[in-house]
């Protein structure tokens, strides 16, 4: 009879590691095994079977059978891989010794039996395969190795076997640059991290996007892993991802205060990383202000970070005001943040608080401005338009405490006049009404959009 089956790669067996999503789907191994068994019985065949099938006969053989010279049978390969995946050592041994299957035969995803056993944590199968010559550095189509899978799924004994006895390459990465140390640090597997460090793994190895192992540990809040990496004396905390993110940025962004305290106490010079910004201009303290991490903001302010306008067109005070974090607004103002700093839209923190009707923050900001402005000046800020066109308020009145009340009056008068003109412009068409076309009654109205509107006037 002719043996036919589908390739194992038609339905992926091992879920790939995704650093952004930790929910791995379960594989349908049981269905594959049932399908294989229902199609054929490889170990019990009749005397009329094909030449390849006779190799699996249980009848005694008077002499050893030579290894097949032709291409391996896909059905035998599938049986071999399913046995490795499910931990069936007896089937593995029989297929290797009687069918003489290549120990590293591959499926369409380039998986070997050792890769599958390592991913599922079948130690006895992995040990048998390695003892019979399986490649400890075999790579799947994604570049994943047996050690990478053992590190990903916390199979410590298999990782020890691969490293200590078979000298697997500890920094062998997938094609996105992810090494075993990356996944172990991401998931917080301290024993495997220690094993890899002891095997001289590169603690600063980068993924394709520049991510390092310490970044993943910081992002996920694994303090013990950060301590291990820093203790090597080789961990570089100033390295940046391609988007500019640093380990400290990830610590602050995710609110891991215990890790921040550890870095602050054990890193000699952490200050250079305080203002290292992401590519959009956001700094660690900006993210802390945005997310409302009061304690972290207080600790970061001790390093005198940049409170001026950032590359993203906002300041820390704008961020705290927009997200309604009054206590952080107070801390920023007490440390010299300017309530009259214009953002990319020409809005000040006062304007934002006024527009959003956040009264407690507005009161804090006006109180902070009291020593710098007269009562008239503060009233102007409270009642002026928040449009960008009115953002050119005479700062000399604020910075130099101008005593010329007439000049201030003129400013107030100009602001009122500007608002009146704006109201008038809004109701004035850009083009005058045109006479009607010959033979028609009425007038033709312009359909050009008004300067303040994106839709046509009707």
* CATH number reported for the structural domain that contains residue 100 in this entry: 1.25.40.20
Give the torsion through C-alpha atoms of 315, 320, 324, 325, to 10 deg: -170
pLDDT interval class at 345 (50, 70, 90): confident
Higher pLDDT, 154 or 377: 154
Q: Which range, 31-35, 107-111, 245-249, 422-426, has the best average confidence (pLDDT)?
A: 245-249
pLDDT interval class at 107 (50, 70, 90): confident
CA–CA distance, 143 with 145 (Å, rounded to integer): 6
Q: Do the beta carbons of residue 81 and residue 8 sit within 8 Å?
A: yes
User: Is 438 inside a domain boundary?
Assistant: yes
Q: Do the beta carbons of residue 88 and residue 120 sit within 8 Å?
A: no
Among 87, 107, 142, give the residue marking a domain's end: 142
- Quick check: 53 pLDDT over 60? no
DSSP string, 63-130: SPPPPP-SPPPHHHHHHHHHHHHHT-HHHHHHHHHTS---TT---TT---HHHHHHHHT-HHHHHHHH
pLDDT interval class at 385 (50, 70, 90): low
Indicate the range of 2-16, 133-147, 301-315, 351-365 predicted with least confidence.
2-16
For 12-21, the pLDDT digits (tens) are 445 444 444 3
State residue 5's pLDDT score: 35
Among 102, 118, 142, give the residue marking a domain's end: 142
Residue 176 burial (C-beta neighbours within 10 Å; 0-12, 13-18, 19+): middle
Structural domain count of the chain: 2
CA–CA distance, 361 with 342 (Å, rounded to integer): 17
Q: For residue 429, what is the enclosing H or E element? A: none
Main-chain dihedrals φ then ψ at residue 449, nearest 5 degrees = -65, 145
What the block records as the tokens of 365 is 């900001």
- Quick check: 382 pLDDT over 90? no
- Among 94, 92, 144, 86, smallest CA distance to 115 is for 144
For 67-80, the pLDDT digits (tens) are 444 455 788 999 99
**Mean pLDDT, the chain, integer:** 78
State residue 191's pLDDT score: 97
Kindly state the average pLDDT of the residues 313-331: 96
- Quick check: 50 pLDDT over 50? no
User: Is 437 inside a domain boundary?
Assistant: yes
Q: Which range, 19-28, 51-60, 418-427, has the best average confidence (pLDDT)?
A: 418-427
State residue 369's pLDDT score: 87
- Quick check: 402 pLDDT over 90? no
Among 122, 142, 162, give the residue marking a domain's end: 142
User: Is 235 inside a domain boundary?
Assistant: no
Kindly state the average pLDDT of the residues 266-287: 92
CA–CA distance, 403 with 341 (Å, rounded to integer): 22
Q: Name the H helices within 254-344.
A: 257-266, 284-291, 294-301, 316-322, 326-334
User: Is 36 inside a domain boundary?
Assistant: yes
302 Ramachandran zone, left/alpha/beta (phi>0; psi -120 to 50): alpha
pLDDT interval class at 371 (50, 70, 90): confident
State residue 277's pLDDT score: 93
Indicate the range of 36-50, 205-219, 348-362 predicted with least confidence.
36-50
Higher pLDDT, 222 or 387: 222
For 154-211, the pLDDT digits (tens) are 999 999 999 999 999 999 999 999 999 999 999 999 999 999 999 999 999 999 999 9
Domain that holds residue 445: 433-458
- Quick check: 56 pLDDT over 50? no
Q: Do the beta carbons of residue 347 and residue 386 sit within 8 Å?
A: yes
Percent of the chain with pLDDT over 70: 66
pLDDT interval class at 45 (50, 70, 90): very low
SS3 456: strand
User: Is 454 inside a domain boundary?
Assistant: yes
User: Is 268 inside a domain boundary?
Assistant: no
């Amino acid at each position: 009879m002719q043996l036919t089956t589908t390739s194992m790669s038609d339905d992926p067996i091992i879920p790939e590691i995704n650093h952004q999503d930790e929910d791995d789907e379960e594989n349908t191994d049981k269905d594959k095994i049932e399908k294989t068994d229902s199609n054929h019985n490889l170990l019990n065949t009749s005397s009329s079977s094909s030449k390849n099938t006779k190799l699996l006969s249980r009848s005694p053989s008077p002499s050893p059978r030579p290894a097949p010279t032709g291409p391996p049978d896909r059905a035998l390969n599938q049986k071999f891989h399913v046995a490795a995946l499910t931990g069936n050592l007896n089937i593995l041994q029989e297929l290797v010794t009687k069918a003489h299957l290549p120990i590293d035969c591959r499926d369409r995803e380039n998986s070997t039996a050792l890769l599958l056993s390592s991913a599922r944590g079948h130690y006895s199968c992995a040990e048998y395969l390695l003892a019979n010559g399986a490649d400890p550095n075999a790579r799947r189509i994604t570049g994943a190795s047996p050690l990478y899978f053992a590190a990903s799924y916390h199979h410590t004994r298999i990782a020890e076997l691969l490293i200590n006895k078979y000298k697997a390459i500890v920094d062998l990465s997938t094609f996105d640059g992810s090494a075993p140390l990356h996944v172990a640090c991401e998931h917080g597997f301290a024993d495997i991290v220690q094993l890899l460090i002891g095997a001289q793994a590169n603690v600063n190895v980068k993924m394709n996007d520049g991510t390092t192992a310490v970044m993943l540990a910081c992002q996920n809040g694994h303090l013990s892993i950060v301590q291990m990496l820093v203790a090597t004396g080789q961990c570089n905390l100033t390295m940046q991802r391609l988007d500019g993110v640093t380990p400290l940025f990830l610590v602050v962004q995710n609110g891991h205060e215990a890790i921040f305290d550890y870095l602050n106490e054990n890193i000699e010079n952490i200050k250079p990383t305080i203002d290292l910004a992401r590519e959009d201009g956001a700094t660690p303290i900006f993210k802390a202000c945005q997310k409302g991490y009061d304690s972290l903001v207080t600790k970061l302010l001790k390093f005198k970070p940049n409170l001026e306008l950032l590359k993203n067109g906002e300041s820390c005070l704008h961020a705290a005001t927009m997200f309604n974090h009054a206590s952080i607004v107070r801390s920023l103002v007490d440390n010299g943040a300017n309530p009259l700093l214009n953002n990319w839209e020409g809005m000040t923190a006062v304007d934002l608080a006024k527009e959003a009707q956040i009264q407690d923050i507005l009161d804090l900001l006006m109180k902070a401005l009291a020593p710098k402005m007269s009562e008239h000046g503060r009233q102007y800020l409270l009642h002026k338009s928040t449009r960008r066109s009115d953002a050119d308020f005479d700062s000399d009145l604020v910075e130099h405490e101008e005593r010329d009340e007439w000049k201030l009056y003129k400013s107030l008068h100009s602001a009122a006049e500007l608002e009146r003109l704006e109201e008038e412009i809004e109701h004035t068409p850009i083009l005058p009404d045109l006479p009607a076309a010959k033979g028609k009654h009425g007038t033709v109205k312009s359909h050009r959009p008004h300067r303040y509107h994106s839709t046509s006037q009707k």
